[in-house]
Amino acid sequence: MTDTPGASGALYVIGGAEDKLKRRTVLRHFVAACGGKQARIAVIPTASSLGPEIIEVYTALFERLGAASTTGVRPESREDANDERFVSRLDDVTGIFMTGGNQLKLSAVINGTAFGDAIREAHRRGVTIGGTSAGASVQSSHMVAFGAGGATPKQRMTQLASGLGLVRDCVIDQHFAQRNRYGRLLMLIAQSPDLLGIGVDEDTAAIITDHEVEVIGRGAVTIIDGREVISNAHAATRTRPLLVSGAQLHVLPAGSKFDLKSRALIPTPWKPDPAEVEELEVAADGLRRLARDIAAEGVSPTNFRRRRARSTSADREDGSP
């Protein structure tokens, strides 16, 4: 659940490697949520090892997608994060975007500072908060600090640190399917069954508003509910594989919705992809032509040619190629 039900801004939890060149579905959706042409977005690249170019990339992207303005705000130390010169720059924004990089650095610099408080306050007053990769993980109350990938949950596979707590009672992981992080999320849920595990694929976003998740993008969001889990996490030693039984798994592609409070899927009507609809229309037209040709079998060549000529003429009149 988000920090203040009913009043908070939307959270964009992006699994990393979001498309920046073609459709830019996730980033386009984020800019629209920030206000579109009135959007004023602060980019926080504290986690990144890149220099000013990371701000330049997102400035160009967001402004190309219609944002009114983008500014970089980069506290590099806890001293910076308590400096009013950094904190005040979040006062009048409509969106905040945290880049990828080292999530432990991001957490260590801003958590428990005036800057971290300013992000939470912005969220409470309705500002849209987004983050990719490290900027996704830090939004949860409990954050993956670091750890190995792999499908099998093992003891000591990863470690937790505290996040900003914009989404409570959960732990978020990113690059989920692409870096095979099922095992480490299962390990965390086996050790802390009260937490909800959320894994977000690349070029995919979990949009969280109050206690509802909506999925957009190319991949899926995986949610692991451990309330009924049976595990030997308390007894397993060193890096041994863990017993994990009874965890409930939800894999949610684009268009799916999930209730974090009830921990249940929200039924949604199926909506076809516009591109698929166009392909089906082309295929249907081809089938109609084929049906006409089949129906013409058995007629004289002269009548068949006349029928084909009438069909071609009609197609030209309605704009068909």
**Residue of 29, 123, 142, 175 marked catalytic:** 175
Contact 241, 150 (CB under 8 A): no
Active site residue 133: yes
**Residue of 133, 137, 141, 256 marked catalytic:** 133
- Distance between CA atoms of 163 and 119, rounded to whole angstroms? 12
Specify the length of the chain in residues: 321
**Residue of 8, 137, 202, 231 marked catalytic:** 202
Helix (H) or strand (E) holding 222: strand 220-225
Starting at the earlier edge strand, list the strands of the sheet with 167-174.
158-162, 140-147, 167-174, 196-200, 220-225, 248-253
Half-sphere exposure of 92 (CA within 13 A, CB side): 4
- Distance between CA atoms of 178 and 299, rounded to whole angstroms? 58
Enter the tokens of residue 42. Answer: 């602060």
State the pairing for strand pair 257-259/212-217. antiparallel
- Distance between CA atoms of 98 and 77, rounded to whole angstroms? 16
Active site residue 8: no
Indicate if the alpha-carbon torsion angle 138, 139, 142, 147 is positive or negative. negative
The CB density around residue 210, as the number of other CB atoms within 10 Å, is 17
Active site residue 18: no
Q: Is 56 helix (H, G, I), strand (E, B) or coil?
A: helix
Q: What are the residue numbers of the active site?
A: 133, 175, 202
